[in-house]
Amino acid sequence: MTYDLIVLGMGSGGMLAAKFAATLDLKVLVIEKHRVGGDCLWTGCVPSKALLAAAKTAHHMRTADRFGITAVEPIIDRATVWEKVREVQRAIAATDDNPERFRAEGIELLVGEAGRIVGPNTVAVGETMFAGRYILVATGSRPLIPSIAGLAEVGYLTSENLFELIDPPGSLVIIGGGPIAVEMAQACRRLGMEVTVLQKADRLLPRDEPSLVDMLVDQLRSEGVQVHVNVETTAVRVEGGVKIVSGKVGGVSAEWGADELLVAAGRTPNVEGLGLAEVGVDVGPRGVEVDNRMRTAVSTIYAAGDVAGRFLFTHSAGYEAVRAVRDAFFPGKGTFTALVPWCTFTDPELAHAGMTVADAQAKFGADDVHVWELPLSHNDRGRADRANGGIVLVTGPKGRLVGGHILAPAAGEMIHELAFAIHDERKLSDLSHFVHVYPTIGTAIGQLAAEAVFESAKKYRWLVKRK
């Protein structure tokens, strides 16, 4: 059987690639060794956000007195909360991510089978060979497990089994300080767990704007999350039914114990068993090596999403996969942007687009980079919602936006405006040319844009007619 496109993996990237190819009336085969939906549905975005939603509800109950409503300590049945998370997953699996839905669109789909590339145009599934004009590798990634003495023997959770728990623990030590670690720290703490975060680096979320991260860490600590940075974990053991992590902080020995451990120390690409090296595809530490059109060293083989190791996000995986298909069948049309915004979905959310202040200063010079900030304490909606602990920060040279960072409710919704402006190389003052709805948190962007206009207007005061 010969196909126009063979896709390995039916996660976020594979699904969009297959759907796009099918709209072009191409013959498509997708091979998924586990289940349709990939990391996003089963171990990532969907269950984590469902858990965060439950945790936010509990937090609102505890803090209702901010609005003159009697605060109450919620009664939390964590087993039921976890089952409600799985209900969301099952609903999506039965509808939008249902294999039959894709088959109805003309996509051939093999689920529960592992594919191996055996030639530039050939994929083997067991003893059966499938030929394709192009092959797209979209096999995703999995949790990276650090080398810590005793970890394997003691046992641990990762994002792959956290949401499958029937009896969630009462306390948790999280090893790692990235988005998954931070989101789950806040969610689990709000759901009544004792939570400790152990981060190897000198700060959580090291890719984000440091000043906003510091504000978020203050929020986590105010809620009772124990945060430790510069931690060197050395060993894990069980003592009296408690899992204990041993390590050092600044050279000083320390130990942290909990009912369970969650390892959230990064991701590693799923490249094993695919036959990539044997057919000439280069694989580096971050995954399959591709050019700016998502092509590998073999012209008929593309890779997209986590397995290509560029940006480990659902939205970037889908974007890259569609671009890869576009380039394969319309050569030269698949180049992609390196500007990928992201958001850590804590409360408040922390969103990022473009450069940090330090990145901009390093590229353009500290004296030429301006920083505009608007704390939500100066935003009427932030005050009304009692969400005035956040901030909007933008940066760039000579008024041109190169970085935007938001710590606020719904920051993930707001960041798109800044990302678009950065992508189009706009000035902050350009965002004053349209009216922002009031009162919204998004008005803060309009307020900053107005400040930029007012600052620029000072240069032209001498032109103003006076009586």
Q: Tell me if 2-142+268-329 shares its fold with 151-265.
A: yes
- The structural domains of the chain, with segments of one domain joined by +, span 2-142+268-329, 151-265, 348-458
Level-2 CATH architecture, domain 151-265: 3-Layer(bba) Sandwich (3.50)
Q: Residue 465: its pLDDT value, please?
A: 60
Closest CA to 44 of 186, 161, 216: 161
CATH number of the structural domain 2-142+268-329: 3.50.50.60
pTM over 0.85: yes
Those residues of the chain that have pLDDT short of 70 are 456-467
Question: How many Å apart are CA 257 and CA 134, to the nearest integer?
Answer: 51
348-458 topology per CATH: Enolase-like; domain 1 (3.30.390)
